[in-house]
Amino acid sequence: MTDNKKVVEIIKVMAEIIHENAQFLTDLDAPIGDNDHGINMDRGFQKVLEDLPGVENSDIGAILKKTGMDLVSTVGGSSGPLYGTAFMKAGAAVAGKNEIDADDFIDIMDAAVGGVQLRGKAEKGEKTMLDAMIPAVEAIKKGVDAGKTPAEFLADGVEAAKEGVEYTKTIIATKGRASYVGERSIGHQDPGATSFTLLLESIAALYN
> What CATH number has the domain bearing residue 83?
1.25.40.340
Confidence label for 71 from pLDDT (cuts 50, 70 and 90): very high
pTM beyond 0.85? yes
Share of the chain above pLDDT 70, in %: 91
pLDDT tens, 26-44? 988 776 666 788 999 999 9
| Cβ-proximal residues to 145 (8 Å cutoff; 6+ apart), any chain | none
pLDDT for 175 beyond 60: no
Number of domains in the chain: 1
Domain that holds residue 8: 2-205
pLDDT of residue 180: 46
Q: Considering only CA atoms, which of 172, 115, 112 is closest in space to residue 136?
A: 112
Strands (E), the chain: 2-3, 99-100
Element (DSSP H or E) covering residue 63: helix 60-74
Q: Which residue has the higher pLDDT, 148 or 174?
A: 148
Average of pLDDT values for 198-208? 94
